[in-house]
Amino acid sequence: MNTADLIWMNGEFVAWEDAKVHVLTHSLHYGTGVFEGIRAYETERGPAIFRHLDHLDRLRKSAQLYYMDIPYSTDDLREATHELIARNGFRSCYIRPLAFRGYGPMGLDPLSNPVEVTIAVWEWGAYLGEEGKRNGVRARVSSWRRISPESLIPHAKACGQYLNSVLAKIEATKAGYEEAILLDHHSNVCEGTGENVFVVRDGTIFTPGHSASILDGINRKSVMEIARDLGYTVVERDIARAELALADELFLTGTAAELTPVRSVDDVELGPPGEITRAIQRVFDDALHGRAERYREWLDPVDVAARSAHAAG
Ligand code: PPE
């Protein structure tokens, strides 16, 4: 994988190869951590982080849901991230903050284990491939259901919960597909292994609502706003499995995947990305890269020049 020079770990900048933990780290055994996936994009004004505060807010909420107090303020984390990007010299990158229960007592009560926080950055290209982003990916409906709110917390972005996505992803890739779409515990369409899902039919855009056990995607929210600004109707409602194959257009959104069209589901061909997908993808891409004035406030620019001047002085 692509590395960086430095990682931020519990308040310090450490060399990539020194960012280590003990094997009895609680979260390594029990999945007791929460994380975020964020991207910074190259813009005219330097690197800019997409919806940074929304991600940091979701990190804190995920932590709360698992009774973890993050011992840093949102300002501290934002500042650390800016500094990390500047010191690593990245113009664009993926950002992975992680808060986890560290080394301490073993056993299932984690409350006396320390909450450790790290932020890593690296260069990460198109998650489902450049070709997939342009021409669409092949997806299958997973035999695994998305974690249900009866057992876990779909709205939290928690480490252990991702075993669900891992099983679905392995199943899909072993069978020759690029991505899996999971149904929820009511057999309605839920989401991809790391993306929210949108169905376009007769000019209207549909996506599952919050009661469908989705993660409240920040790109989902952004794309819904862009679609409405473009004049499309976006409806949040239950989506039946068959509606995937009956869709005129289908696409996924997520930080890693950005907006990725789906060109077939369970080998039913939907064809190349449609007009509505392309129209939204174009504006979304402009928004990410700071080319859309209307969505400028979504970007948190990193003032690299001021930071290196400061470091030099
Ligand atoms: N659902 C899930 C399960 C999910 O993991 C993500 C993000 C989303 C929806 C979309 O959320 P948002 O990024 O806020 O629009 N998945 C992250 C992790 C991917 C990974 O492989 O790791 C991501 O995209 O960063």
pLDDT at 313 over 60: no
| pLDDT tops 80 at residue 308 | no
Say if residues 273 and 248 touch (Cβ distance below 8 Å): no
Q: Can you name the residues that pair with 249 across neighbouring β-strands?
A: 200
Mean pLDDT value across the chain: 97
Ligand 1 atom, smallest distance to 54 CA = 14
Mutate to test the pocket of ligand 1, among 41, 148, 196 (most ligand atoms within 8 A of CB): 196
Which atom of ligand 1 lies closest to the CA of 193?
3
Q: Which residue has the tokens 């020194």?
A: 18
Task: Please compute the mean of the pLDDT values over residues 96-121 and round it to a whole number.
Answer: 98
Q: Is the pLDDT of residue 52 over 70?
A: yes
Helices (H), ranges, the chain: 26-30, 52-65, 74-88, 130-135, 162-174, 218-229, 242-245, 275-288, 304-312
Residue showing tokens 């390594």? 28
Query: Which run of H or of E encompasses 258?
Result: strand 258-265
Quick check: CB of 37 below 6 Å from ligand 1? yes
Read off the tokens for 93: 């990158």
For the segment 29-44, the average pLDDT, to the nearest whole number, is 98
- 70-82: average pLDDT: 98
- Tell me if 191 CB under 6 Å of ligand 1: yes
Is a pLDDT exceeding 70 seen at residue 77?
yes
Cα 87 to Cα 82: distance, rounded to the nearest angstrom:
9
Residue 58 · residue 216 · CB < 8 Å: yes
Mean per-residue pLDDT, 60-83: 98
Cβ 195 under 6 angstroms from ligand 1: yes
Q: What is the pLDDT of residues 255-307, one digit of tens each?
A: 999 999 999 999 999 999 999 999 999 999 999 999 999 999 999 999 998 88
Give me the mean pLDDT over the 77-85 stretch: 98
The pLDDT, as a whole number, for residue 206 is 98
- Nearest residue (CA) to ligand 1, atom 8: 195
CB atoms under 10 Å from CB of 114, counted, come to: 15
* Burial track 87-99 (b if 16+ CB lie within 10 A, e otherwise): bbebebbbbbbbb
Question: Residue 138 forms beta bridges with which residues?
Answer: 264
Q: Which of 20, 61, 133, 157 is catalytic?
A: 157
Residue 14 to residues 17, 120, 209: CA-CA distances in angstroms? 8, 10, 41
Tell how many helices (H) and how many strands (E) occur in the chain. 9, 17
Its pTM surpasses 0.85: yes
pLDDT tens sequence across 220-261: 999 999 999 999 999 999 999 999 999 999 999 999 999 999
Least confident interval from 13-22, 125-134, 218-227: 125-134
Distance 256 CA to ligand 1 centre (A): 7
Rg of the chain over CA atoms, in angstroms? 20
Mean pLDDT of 83-107: 98
From residue 29, alpha-carbon distances to 60, 76, 97, 246, 300 in Å are 22, 28, 19, 42, 35
- Give the residue, by CA position, lying nearest to ligand 1 atom 20: 194
Separation of CA 194 and ligand 1 centre (Å): 4
Let me know if 103 is exposed, middle or buried by CB neighbors in 10 A (0-12, 13-18, 19+). middle
169 catalytic, yes or no?
no
Q: How far is the CA of 105 from the centre of ligand 1 (A)?
A: 31
What would the pLDDT profile of 168-202 be if each residue is shown by its tens digit?
A: 999 999 999 999 999 999 999 999 999 999 999 99
Give the per-residue pLDDT at 2.
Answer: 86
Q: Could you say which DSSP state residue 188 is in?
A: B
